[in-house]
A and B are shown apart, each in its own frame.
Chain A
Amino acid sequence: MIEWKKYTYTFLITAVIFITAIFASNYFTQKRINEIKNIESRISVDILASETQFSLLSELSCKDIGNSFLSQELAELGDKLSYMENNRGTDDEEVINLKKYYSLLQIKDYLLMQKVNERCGAKTLFIMYFYSNKKNDCPDCQKEGFVLTRLREDYPELRVYSFDYNLELSALKTLINIYDIKDEQPTILVNDEVNYGFKSIDDIKEIIPVLKEIDKQREIEKTFQATTTTF
């Protein structure tokens, strides 16, 4: 006599475990999305505050405008978004919305930093990077991602703004039109100059010579430190 009951109970227990796992996984994913939303809203407030502060104080108080704010937070947000994209897929509606907002924040930050550069003579370094997530569309984008991540780590003063070329966002389209960027990724935009194709670390140092100067400066500091330690 077969105990069908046991087969059914086992099925129910297994199903309950599966459903619980699905719920638990969704709960943590939702938590992540909320965390990204929180970071985005924090950055948005920070940008707005900086813009307002900038308008209120005008040229006289350039020293009050911080140069390194947001850079780290934007980078962290970018990393988290790319993690979500890998896990949930590039087609996920929620991830796309978060990416749109992230792109907007990057543009706003870029505009603000440009103003700071113009008015205060600051020398913030920018790279605008356009990539594509479509399958087989940009085989070099992964490599370019490695290069820019490494540069961002090595040079905290460098701001890398990354944009999905195919993202349906009017502000992004306007940016693409202004610089007349063709649909060829990877694309790097530095000081209004558009560079197509993969660019290695050395190539980028050629495009942004300041990075070489920073290297030299670091070398001098290192030698100086070594000399003082010897004495």
Chain B
Amino acid sequence: MPKILTYIFLFIALYIEIFFLITYFEFRKKEKSTKTKIFKKLPSVSVIVPVWNEEKTVLKTIFSLLNLNYPKNKLFIFIVDDGSTDKTWNVLQRFKNHKQIKIFKKENGGKYTALNHALKYIDTDLVGCLDADSFVHPEALQRIVSRFEDPEIMAVTPSIKVFEPKGFLGLIQKAEYILGIFLRKVLHNLDAIYITPGPLSIFRRSVFEKLGSYRHAHNTEDIEIAMRMQKNNMRISNAHNAYIYTVAPNNLKVLLKQRLRWVYGFIKNALDYKELFFKPQHSHLGLIVLPAAGFSIFATLYFFIMRIYSAIENMILKVKEIYTIGFHFNSFNIDLFYFNTSIIIFISMIAISGVFLTIMVSRYLAEEKTKFGFDSILFLIFYTFLSPIWMIWALYNLVTSKSSKWR
């Protein structure tokens, strides 16, 4: 039975991987032959920066926005201090008379309330959000805005990279975020983006006029707003060359909490928007993208449990052997006869080759200098051990109805 289940899981995983790779290469061909249009008259843009105890990074975030290559009379920054308890508000005072910047202070109510607070004062064509731990590439906004030339596009997401990745966790996240660039590009090609991430996703103001403001959405308002847009058939695009740099957690506890919030938020929002699943009217989003995202959680867990089970089984066998005959080194046998050539091994080898190809394509999209890096190796080795932890935790919270927290 577990063998058949493994085959089914492998088949679906391989199917999704092939589907995404085909989509990427199919659209790469098309994109080469189409030229990007450039706005004659650039739209006005407001960027909301919600801050909570971000005295160390907020200045860098604001200066990166001020350095954007975008007309100063068309770019406005709204900083909302969501009841910080550190010196963030004092730090922000230097901008109180800045022409482009407006600062607000309110009682702590969560990120979505900070965003909604600023939305009330905004009358620009476009509006976006930038987390206070992220910094923008000078050309990012121009590249994002160019996507709005298509009147059907209602929101545009950027590509997110890790800012100065440090240490083991930093490098693993660097590789993960780079893979995310590929994934978002593919989802864009499929018209199935279901997250508009905090670091500089830009919307037409009319989105909020038509759909209403941000919601609590299990602390993942960026997933909810995207799903709400998809439900209302609003198109979301991606500017893969609009780079935003975000500070990634360098501490396992913080990382786990962040991922727990993401996974838990995804599952809860997916349940809230379950009508999007398996519905042909929502095209690829309903037929493959959302089911694949849900499947990835269960597949990761399944393979993790199988690996743990097999490791425990081998350990018990070894302990039994040591207990029976004492410690004894088994001679290493390099006879080809004993090489594992099971079906699972062949499929896994093909699936891993697909992952290698995906990593190389992602690094090309992310304009990395090398096709493969040390971070990619760490990611391949350790990610499959790390990700099940927050997935199990999220499922546990889901079953026990325990909600996730921001920090």
Is residue B151 within 8 Å, beta carbon to beta carbon, of the partner chain?
no
Q: Across the interface, name the chain B residue whose C-beta is closest to A36.
A: B337
B367-394 interface bits toward A, Cβ cutoff 8 Å, 1 = contact, 0 = none: 0000000000000000000000000000
Query: How far apart sit A25 and B347, CA to CA, in the bound complex (Å)?
Result: 10
Is residue B346 within 8 Å, beta carbon to beta carbon, of the partner chain?
yes
CB distance from A151 to the nearest CB of B (A): 9
Query: How far apart sit A143 and B14, CA to CA, in the bound complex (Å)?
Result: 40
Q: Is the CB of A10 within 8 A of B343?
A: no
Is residue B283 within 8 Å, beta carbon to beta carbon, of the partner chain?
yes
Q: Is the CB of A2 within 8 A of B320?
A: no
Q: Is the CB of A143 within 8 A of B320?
A: yes
A1-41 interface bits toward B, Cβ cutoff 8 Å, 1 = contact, 0 = none: 11000110111011001101110110011001001000000
Is residue A191 within 8 Å, beta carbon to beta carbon, of the partner chain?
no
Query: How far apart sit A171 and B325, CA to CA, in the bound complex (Å)?
Result: 32
B18-57 residues at the A interface, CB under 8 angstroms? 18-19, 22-23, 26
Q: Is the CB of B23 within 8 A of A17?
A: no
Q: Is the CB of B18 within 8 A of A24?
A: no
Q: Which of A10, A18, A87 contacts B19 (CB 8 A)?
A: A10
Is residue A205 within 8 Å, beta carbon to beta carbon, of the partner chain?
no
Is residue A124 within 8 Å, beta carbon to beta carbon, of the partner chain?
no
Please judge, given known A-B contacts A18-B11, A147-B325, whether A2 and B280 are in contact too, CB under 8 Å: yes
Is residue B308 within 8 Å, beta carbon to beta carbon, of the partner chain?
no
B288 cross-chain contacts in A, Cβ below 8 A: 7
Query: How far apart sit A14 and B13, CA to CA, in the bound complex (Å)?
Result: 10
State how many residues of chain B have any CB contact under 8 Å with chain A.
30
Is residue A142 within 8 Å, beta carbon to beta carbon, of the partner chain?
yes
Query: How far apart sit A21 and B22, CA to CA, in the bound complex (Å)?
Result: 21
Is residue B73 within 8 Å, beta carbon to beta carbon, of the partner chain?
no
Q: Is the CB of A147 within 8 A of B324?
A: yes
Query: How far apart sit A16 and B8, CA to CA, in the bound complex (Å)?
Result: 15
Q: Is the CB of B347 within 8 A of A10?
A: no
Q: Which of B15, B320, B350 contacts A11 (CB 8 A)?
A: B15
Query: How far apart sit A20 and B284, CA to CA, in the bound complex (Å)?
Result: 28
Task: Give the most central of A14, A25, A201: most B CB within 10 Å.
Answer: A14
Q: Which of A9, A11, A21, A29 contacts B347 (CB 8 A)?
A: A21
Is residue A155 within 8 Å, beta carbon to beta carbon, of the partner chain?
no
Q: Is the CB of A14 within 8 A of B14?
A: yes
Q: Is the CB of A21 within 8 A of B320?
A: no
State how many residues of chain A have any CB contact under 8 Å with chain B.
31
Is residue B321 within 8 Å, beta carbon to beta carbon, of the partner chain?
yes
Q: Is the CB of B320 within 8 A of A146?
A: yes
Q: Is the CB of A2 within 8 A of B324?
A: no
CB distance from B47 to the nearest CB of A (A): 35
Q: Is the CB of A200 within 8 A of B324?
A: yes
B276-294 interface bits toward A, Cβ cutoff 8 Å, 1 = contact, 0 = none: 0000100110011000000
A21 cross-chain contacts in B, Cβ below 8 A: 343, 346-347, 350
Q: Across the interface, name the chain B residue whose C-beta is closest to A80.
A: B337
CB distance from B8 to the nearest CB of A (A): 11
Query: How far apart sit A2 and B286, CA to CA, in the bound complex (Å)?
Result: 11
Is residue B405 within 8 Å, beta carbon to beta carbon, of the partner chain?
no
Q: Is the CB of A24 within 8 A of B341?
A: yes
Is residue B98 within 8 Å, beta carbon to beta carbon, of the partner chain?
no
Is residue A150 within 8 Å, beta carbon to beta carbon, of the partner chain?
yes
Is residue B210 within 8 Å, beta carbon to beta carbon, of the partner chain?
no
Q: Is the CB of A22 within 8 A of B343?
A: yes
Is residue B342 within 8 Å, beta carbon to beta carbon, of the partner chain?
yes
A147 cross-chain contacts in B, Cβ below 8 A: 324-325
A14 cross-chain contacts in B, Cβ below 8 A: 11, 14-15, 18
CB distance from B74 to the nearest CB of A (A): 37
B102-160 residues at the A interface, CB under 8 angstroms? none
A146 cross-chain contacts in B, Cβ below 8 A: 320-321, 324-325
Query: How far apart sit A150 and B286, CA to CA, in the bound complex (Å)?
Result: 58
Beyond A1-B283, A80-B337, 6 additional contacts (C-beta under 8 Å) are A7-B288, A10-B22, A25-B343, A32-B337, A35-B337, A142-B317
26 A-B pairs, CB-CB below 8 angstroms? A1-B283, A2-B280, A2-B283, A6-B22, A6-B26, A9-B22, A10-B18, A10-B22, A14-B11, A17-B18, A18-B14, A18-B343, A18-B347, A21-B343, A25-B342, A35-B337, A83-B338, A87-B342, A143-B324, A146-B320, A146-B321, A147-B324, A150-B328, A153-B331, A200-B324, A201-B325
Rank and list the top 4 A-B pairs by shortest CB-CB distance, nearest first: A21-B346, A28-B341, A150-B325, A25-B343
